Amino acid sequence: MSTTLSLAQEREAQYLFPTYARTPLLLERGKGVFLFDSAGNRYLDCITGIGVNALGYAHPRVLAAMRDQARKLIHSSNLFYNEYQGVLGERLAKLSGMERAFFTVSGAEAVEGALKVARSLGQRSSPDKIGVVALNHSFHGRTTGSLSVTGQPKYRAPFGPLLPGVSFVESNDAAGLASAVNANTCAIILEVVQGEGGVRELRPEFLTAAAELAREYRACLICDEIQCGLGRTGKAFAYQGQGLQPDIVTTAKPLACGYPLGAILARGDAATALTAGTHGTTFGGGPLACRLALEFLDILDTPEMYAHIQAVGAYMKEAMLRLAHKHAIVKEVRGKGLMLGMELEKPAKPAVQRMLELGVIANVTHDTTIRMLPPYILEEKHADRALKALAKGLKAV
Ligand SMILES: Cc1ncc(COP(=O)(O)O)c(C=O)c1O
C-alpha cells in the first residue's frame, strides 16, 4: 500500500482522534541508525520511537528471530504455555534482581499492574493503605491509574477525579518525601531518571531516603524503568549501582525490539500478591514478543554493549557540555548513557525543527528540554553529526 504525506494527513484529520501533533514526515523504512521518509530523505534517529528502537532498524538478528517465530506462532493467549515466557521471566529476574514477572503490552499497563500489586498488599494490612507518593515532573502513562500518579497536572486535569490517595512531592526533596509518606502509603513510585519530565536524574541520597521510607512504612518501592531501563543509561536498569533494591520494577519500550511488550517485575511479597484470576491480559507475553525480547537481551546484556553505551553517551554529553559553555541560552545538560537532555532558557521547538531540516531527529520534552534517546548502536561519527546539527539548532532558538 502506498500513500503520500498529504493523503495520510487528510485521512488522519478526518478519521483519527486528533490526539497527536505529528511532525509532518511520512516514515517508510529504517536501516541501522537511519530512518527514511517517503520523499527519500535520510535522518539520523536520535529519538528511536521514544526509546523503543534501541538496536536501530532492520537489525539482522531481530529480523531473523521475527521471521522464524512468525512462521511458527505469533499469538496463543495466556490460556496456554508458550516456549518463551518462562525463559524470559527467568532472564529478567536474573537481570533485575527481582523474582517474578508479569508480561504486559505497554508501559502504562505495567504501571497499572504495579499499582494493583501495591494496593493488594496494602489491603492485607488495612483498607486505608491505598496511598501512593509520586514525584512532580514524573510520567507514568496515560491510563487512569498511571495518569493518577503522573506528576504533570496538564495531563491529569481533564480526566478527574482520578485515583484517591495520591500525593506528589518535589524530586530530590527528601524532607518533602518524608512528610508525605505515612502508614497509609502502599507505594512510592519514581523514575531514577525522569524522561518525559525533562531528563532529570534523582540524587542517590534521595533514592536511599525513598528506599528507607518504603521499608519503614511497609510500602512498595516501585522503580518505573520504562524509559531509563534496559541499557538506556549504560546499565541493565538505572537503579543498579545506586544501592537500591526496589520491590517492583516496570519495564517496556525497547524490550521486544519494537514489538509491543512490557513487564512488571517484583520480589518478596510483591511477587506473589497477584494470584490466579486477579490479573490478566490477552496479548501480554505472546510467543513472538517474548522471543524478540530474548534476542534483545542476548544482544544487550554483554559487558561490551554496556561499555559502548557508557562511552558513546559520555562522548555526547561532554560535547553537549561544551556547547552549553558557548551558548548562553543553554541552562543545563543532564542525563547519562544514551539518555541525554539539554534544557534551554526558552521553548526548544525551533532547535529540533532546525535539526530535522539538517537530517537529525531529536525531540522536545517538558517544553524547554531537547531530548536525545539514540540507538545503542550509535557510533562517535554519528554522534558528531547529531552534535553539529544540535549546535546549529541552538542558533535557531
Ligand atoms: C517512565 C515512563 N513510564 C511509563 C510510560 C508509558 O509507557 P507507554 O507509552 O508504553 O504506555 C512512559 C512512556 O513514555 C515512560 O516514559
CA–CA separation, 360 vs 141, rounded Å?
27
In short, whether 196's Cβ falls inside 6 Å of ligand 1 is yes
Q: What pLDDT is attached to residue 300?
A: 98
* Under 8 Å between Cβ of 368 and 343: yes
DSSP state of 98: -
Closest CA to 202 of 230, 227, 170: 170
| The one-letter amino acid at 91 | R
pTM of the model: 0.98
What is the per-residue pLDDT across 215-237, written as a single tens digit (0 to 9) for each?
A: 999 999 999 999 999 999 999 99
Closest CA to 232 of 207, 254, 211, 215: 254
Q: Are strands 42-45 and 360-361 parallel, antiparallel or unpaired?
A: parallel
pLDDT > 70 fraction of the chain, expressed in percent and rounded: 99
What is the per-residue pLDDT across 8-37, written as a single tens digit (0 to 9) for each?
A: 999 999 999 999 999 999 999 999 999 999
* Under 8 Å between Cβ of 198 and 343: yes
CA–CA separation, 218 vs 187, rounded Å?
9
In short, whether 333's Cβ falls inside 6 Å of ligand 1 is no
All structural domains of the chain, each given as residue ranges with its CATH number in brackets, are 5-59+303-395 (3.90.1150.10), 73-300 (3.40.640.10)
In short, whether 140's Cβ falls inside 6 Å of ligand 1 is yes
Distance 155 CA to ligand 1 centre (A): 13
Neighbour count for residue 288 (Cβ, 10 Å): 22
* Under 8 Å between Cβ of 220 and 210: no
Closest CA to 355 of 44, 103, 102, 83: 44
- Of the pLDDT bands very low, low, confident and very high (cuts 50, 70, 90), residue 1 is low
CA–CA separation, 357 vs 195, rounded Å?
25
CA–CA separation, 270 vs 219, rounded Å?
10
Distance 325 CA to ligand 1 centre (A): 32
Q: What pLDDT is attached to residue 241?
A: 85
CA–CA separation, 94 vs 327, rounded Å?
44
206 grid coordinates: 534521595
